[in-house]
Structure 1
Amino acid sequence: MARIKYYYDTETCKYERVKQTKWDVTFNVLGYVVVTLLFSFGLLALFGDLFESPKFARLAKENRELKENIALMNKKMDENEGYLQALAHKDDNVYRKIFEAEPIPETIRKGGVGGVQRFRSLLEADLEQEEMIINTFERIQALRRKMFIQTKSYDEIMDLAKKKEQMWASIPAIQPVNNTEMKRLSSGYGIRMHPIMKRRIMHHGLDYSAKRGTPIYATGDGVVKKVKYYPGGYGRVVEIDHGFGFETRYAHMQMYIVKRGQKVKRGECIGYVGNTGRSTAPHLHYEVRKNGKTVDPIHYIFQGISDEEYAELVRLASQDNQSLS
């Protein structure tokens, strides 16, 4: 029930009832409303500080879980980067050395990360966890790039592995004549006395003494590069290109049974021992070239002989004697 207000009228000496206008009522109502709203807002602020609303609590929980998941993601990336670094180390220092391939340059492995600015532009500038999200995105992009580079590297290693079998078959790895008793090797690679010029000069191969007509074998798979006769030098010669930088030469032959461009296999007969060209006795002069330069053939003989037999070959080849051509 509304309270009725009176005032004392001095002229009439009576209490008269206070008459309120519509504006008075309006202002009174507005005053009550403003006070009520202010009080309500104060209670809400106090309640919000003391008690979380269900929505706020849910958002706070989601934010905590987001931070925990991002932290866990970064921890997993640390582990994966460690695994990837170990693979890269094996790749450069084991696999690529086995296949004689150059290591991947560090500048490529640590190349820049693209797309970060584009991703940053998609985020709100005032996002509270912006830097955390950007950093995580950068790490993901860097990890993806490293994985892509490593995958390409392993593709290359696989190609090299497929060629490795072919390379092992192509390397000149056996003796060019039958030498089971290890007595045919008469002169080794190096400075030797020349039997005709009677002075010490470089001898670029191995001399195997043998009877005329003794079979000569290709020491590795390859393609016959040259079949030629040099009357004043090597005599009848066969040269084989084995690929991978290897070539072999077989000189002073009595005859050859292969032709230029013909593919041969390791152990296949290509001709017979003779005494043609500038030679003092029937023998085979055998050379190995690697990338265009002669090398000591004794270092490439590793098939068909034991360790003891190889040691005997090395001993015979190291003797400072006279060559046969």
Structure 2
Amino acid sequence: MAKKAKFHYNPETLSFERVETSARNILKKIFIHLFSSAAIGFILFLIFTLLIDSPEEKQLKKDLETMKVKYRLLDKKVDQLTKISHDLQQRDNNLYRVIFQAEPLPDFTAGYSNEGALINELSDKSSSKILNETSKKVEMLSKQIYSQIQSYDEIVELLKTNETKLQNIPAIQPILNKDLTKVASGFGYRIDPVYHTRKMHTGMDFTAPIGTDIFATGNGVVTFAGWKQGYGNTIIIDHGFGYETLYAHLKKIKVRERQKISRADIIGSVGNTGKSTGPHLHYEVIFKGQHVDPLNFYFLDLSPEEYDKMIQLAQNAGQVLD
């Protein structure tokens, strides 16, 4: 079969002219087509490999996201446990060991920083580094817990020889407050509700209906039962060993001076007497003439979790009621 001839129109001669094809032109066209096809194929390969994940890569990314979530939860839980352990250690050093004149524990949280605990981007960290950071936190927490266990074992031994002292010192809340909802204001500087100035609040306020029972927080002797300027109807109990407690703004006083009382005895009822802006009990703990935070003296009432919650409530409480 004869090869078909190719023609092209020449505008200068206004006629069709035969196009001569050579092997060189044919090879050139074949090379251009092959190069173009290879370039397109390479571009498509890059698109599929760089922009579109394989099933294996999709699963790896999914596993990484799951690991991030689990690590954040684990890291947050470790931090919470560390804080609770630290609070218990401070409570131990500031109360139990002060009571029994024992040496304080070393602070294992010194130098500990929570900064960067919740890592938002784990992709730039190797698995070994992530595990190493978590391992260090768990190791520190383990040391704290071990130290605290030893401390409580020591305190148990001290209790055996200081039973009378433990019965006398304030150790419960002065009103029933199992749900921890009655804390109105804690110990520290607050805004005075009458004079609207910043002043030291030397006790803790508990809101409760008028007539609610008030309990003695430790064994002792009533040294004052009557009206006190600003405090209204007031009871003061001497617990010995340098401890006193004060209960103010009462409606009724149900004890008399020089009367011996035991922990949990009903001594009065909640009222609104004296410089008070609402029904509540104002409760103070005094040690060797100095006001101390009553929050540290509920250890027979509260679990570690409840104690931590009570700290938050006392710190976030607003204006005082007296």
TM-score, L = length of structure 2: 0.51
Q: Distance in 2 between matches of 1:301 and 1:247?
A: 15
Out of 162, 171, 179, which is 1:173 matched to? Answer: 171
Residue identity opposite 1:322 in structure 2: Q
Residue identity opposite 1:220 in structure 2: G
**Shift in CA distance, 177/320, structure 1 to aligned 2, threshold 3 Å:** closer
> Are the aligned partners of 1:257 and 1:270 in contact in 2 as well (CA < 8 Å)?
yes
- Highest CA radius of gyration, 1 or 2? 1
Equivalence for 1:268: 265
Out of 150, 174, 182, which is 1:184 matched to? Answer: 182
Task: State the 1:97 CA deviation.
Answer: 8.7
- Superposition pairs of residues 93-104 of structure 1, within 5 angstroms: 99-100=100-101
Does 1:193 find its partner at 2:194?
no
Q: Distance in 1 between matches of 2:242 and 2:187?
A: 19
- Superposition pairs of residues 4-15 of structure 1, within 5 angstroms: none
**Shift in CA distance, 314/161, structure 1 to aligned 2, threshold 3 Å:** closer
- Superposition pairs of residues 34-183 of structure 1, within 5 angstroms: 99-100=100-101, 164-183=162-181
Out of 222, 225, 234, which is 2:223 matched to? Answer: 225
Residue identity opposite 1:100 in structure 2: Q
Residue identity opposite 2:101 in structure 1: E
Q: Distance in 2 between matches of 1:293 and 1:98?
A: 15
The number of equivalent residue pairs is 172
**Shift in CA distance, 219/98, structure 1 to aligned 2, threshold 3 Å:** closer
Q: Distance in 2 between matches of 1:222 and 1:303?
A: 17
Q: Distance in 1 between matches of 2:305 and 2:159?
A: 31
Q: For 2:316, what is the secondary structure of its paired residue?
A: coil
Q: Distance in 2 between matches of 1:279 and 1:300?
A: 24
Residue identity opposite 2:252 in structure 1: M
- Superposition pairs of residues 234-253 of structure 1, within 5 angstroms: 234-253=231-250
Task: State the 1:305 CA deviation.
Answer: 2.0
Residue identity opposite 1:222 in structure 2: G
Task: State the 1:164 CA deviation.
Answer: 1.0
Does 1:311 find its partner at 2:308?
yes
Cα offsets for 1:300-324 (capped at 9, x unmatched): 1101222221111111111252100
**Shift in CA distance, 199/261, structure 1 to aligned 2, threshold 3 Å:** same
Equivalence for 2:214: 216
Moved beyond 3 Å, runs of 4+: 96-99, 160-163
Q: For 1:318, what is the secondary structure of its paired residue?
A: helix
Q: Distance in 2 between matches of 1:313 and 1:222?
A: 26
Q: Distance in 1 between matches of 2:289 and 2:206?
A: 23
Out of 254, 274, 291, which is 1:257 matched to? Answer: 254
> Are the aligned partners of 2:159 and 2:166 in contact in 1 as well (CA < 8 Å)?
no
Task: State the 1:228 CA deviation.
Answer: 1.6
Q: Distance in 2 between matches of 1:98 and 1:201?
A: 29
> Are the aligned partners of 1:192 and 1:320 in contact in 2 as well (CA < 8 Å)?
no
Task: State the 1:161 CA deviation.
Answer: 7.2
CA RMSD between the two structures: 2.1
> Are the aligned partners of 2:226 and 2:253 in contact in 1 as well (CA < 8 Å)?
no
Q: Distance in 2 between matches of 1:97 and 1:208?
A: 26
Give unmatched runs, 5+ long, in structure 2: 1-96, 104-157
